[in-house]
């Protein structure tokens, strides 16, 4: 499975990317995000033992978050989703733009 995909519809490019968070089940606040976002699930999962020890054995999990860029800008649904995780939208970077040299994106 690829981390990012791009589709070209007419003149607009759509790029999809998935990021992963480590989550802890707080006894009073429910599931909360701890730490930064990660580009690979395995990386986020590798941090779970450390996070659980730091939070004194609370339950933890890895949660994925799909992001969609349209014409190099993060779409509104992705911005709202990041806001729910209390994260700022990433800047328009090379990751958000389709590479014209790679038709398989």
Q: What pLDDT, in 10s, does the model give residues 63-100?
A: 998 999 888 888 899 888 888 888 877 665 445 455 55
Structure tokens at 105: 């994106």
Q: What single-letter DSSP state applies at residue 40? A: S
CB distance 38 to 44 below 8 Å: yes
Residues 6+ apart with CB under 8 A from 105: 4, 5, 6, 15, 98, 99
Largest CA distance in the chain: 52
Confidence of residue 53 (pLDDT cuts 50, 70, 90): very high
Average pLDDT of 2-25? 73
């Amino acid at each position: 499975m690829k981390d990012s995909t791009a589709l070209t519809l007419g003149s607009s490019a759509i790029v999809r990317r998935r990021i992963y968070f480590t989550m802890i089940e707080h006894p009073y606040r429910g599931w909360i995000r701890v730490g930064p976002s990660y580009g690979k699930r395995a990386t986020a999962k590798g941090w779970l033992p450390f996070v659980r020890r730091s939070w004194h054995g609370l339950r933890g999990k890895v949660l994925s978050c799909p992001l969609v860029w349209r014409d190099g800008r993060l779409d509104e649904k992705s911005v709202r989703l990041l806001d729910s995780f209390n994260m700022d939208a990433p800047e328009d970077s090379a990751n958000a733009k389709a590479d014209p040299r790679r038709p398989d994106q």
